[in-house]
């Protein structure tokens, strides 16, 4: 689809009509209609993202930063991911709900990876899981898929490796790195991944990977050449002000609007403007008369 035609498409009215599955996402590879993905972390964000028409909703380990206030994604636990995934699942009925496998939930062994992926599906009610990494996670992806759980891969800037990278830095900036990205992407596809997140890389790298794998690529900071895009709910709506990555487009300033609204509330309370008469309930007149007979016990 040309850029001009894409800009002519109206907002709204494109919501999925029935529940989307992992094979349904895979079938969208190469389509003119890009795959729209968002994160969500509880019932309220889940239902809002679902009603927006998102195709895929990720309960990301970004939960650690945008909801729990940590400095990075490494502190969130399996129990926390299950808790928030289960809450989000109650609000998601159309999009494919994917849950991130948090740091150290799949790193020790294939058996650990399968068991924790199973918990996210059985207890968290996710429909698929996502894990980060290339060749080192191939056997784990294969085993999880063999257990009947769809897996989404994640390459490029993988936040769980932030300490090894020395910060949140762009990946794939030279030909050797791009070769590794492509090799890893093809290995993840061969292991059974149904889609692949490409994060924070030059558009040329993302284009090469997208062209040579048969599963959809979902970009975040990888240009407009991938099969879809994903952004964090709080970034899209202007509700996380610690930092804003260059690749984010903010569509609203709900954080500022919320602060302004809550400030007005506090001021109305302080200066007797809330609650007003219209927010107040009254007893029947005969009951207020009967209240005169109430006995008031003296305080000791």
CA 64 from centre of chain: 12
Place of tokens 């590794």: 180
The token duo for 99 is 């849950």
Burial 76-96 (b: 16+ CB within 10 A, else e): bebebbbbbbbbbbebbebbb
CA 85 from centre of chain: 10
Under 8 Å between Cβ of 209 and 176: no
Residue 252 phi, psi (nearest 5): -155, 165
The token duo for 201 is 């890389």
Over its C-alpha atoms, the chain yields an Rg (Å, rounded) of: 24
Bridge partners of 195, per DSSP, are 152
Positive or negative: CA dihedral 237, 38, 14, 225: positive
Determine which one of 132, 189, 199, 207 is catalytic.
199
How many other CB atoms are there within 10 angstroms of residue 253's CB atom?
14
The answer to whether residue 190 is catalytic is no
Positive or negative: CA dihedral 36, 200, 169, 250: negative
Positive or negative: CA dihedral 45, 47, 52, 53: positive
Under 8 Å between Cβ of 199 and 230: no
Under 8 Å between Cβ of 20 and 56: yes
Q: How far apart are CA 87 and CA 174, in angstroms?
A: 41
Catalytic residues: 199
């Amino acid at each position: 689809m040309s850029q001009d035609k894409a800009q002519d498409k109206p907002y709204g009215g494109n919501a999925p009509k029935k529940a989307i599955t992992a094979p349904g996402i895979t079938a969208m590879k190469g389509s003119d209609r890009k795959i729209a993905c968002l994160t969500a972390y509880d019932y309220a964000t889940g239902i809002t993202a679902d009603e927006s028409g998102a195709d895929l909703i990720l309960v990301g380990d970004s939960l650690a930063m945008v909801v729990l206030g940590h400095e990075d994604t490494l502190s969130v636990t399996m129990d926390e991911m299950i808790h928030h995934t289960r809450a989000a699942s109650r609000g998601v009925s159309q999009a494919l709900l994917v849950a991130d496998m948090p740091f150290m939930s799949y790193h020790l062994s294939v058996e650990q990876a399968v068991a924790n992926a199973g918990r996210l599906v059985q207890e968290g009610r996710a429909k698929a899981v996502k894990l980060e990494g290339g060749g080192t996670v191939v056997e784990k992806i294969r085993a999880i898929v063999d257990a009947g759980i769809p897996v989404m891969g994640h390459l490029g800037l993988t936040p769980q490796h932030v300490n090894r990278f020395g910060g949140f830095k762009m990946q794939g900036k030279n030909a050797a790195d791009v070769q590794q990205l492509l090799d890893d992407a093809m290995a993840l596809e061969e292991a059974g991944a149904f889609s692949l997140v490409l994060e924070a890389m030059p558009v040329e790298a993302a284009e090469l990977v997208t062209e040579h794998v048969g599963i959809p690529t979902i970009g975040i900071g990888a240009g407009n050449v991938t099969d879809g895009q994903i952004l964090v709910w709080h970034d899209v709506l202007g509700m996380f002000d610690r930092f804003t990555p260059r690749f984010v487009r903010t569509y609203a300033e709900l954080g500022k609007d919320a602060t302004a609204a809550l400030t007005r509330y506090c001021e109305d309370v302080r200066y007797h403007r809330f609650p007003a008469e219209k927010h107040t309930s009254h007893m029947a007149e005969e009951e207020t008369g009967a209240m005169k007979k109430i006995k008031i016990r003296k305080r000791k």
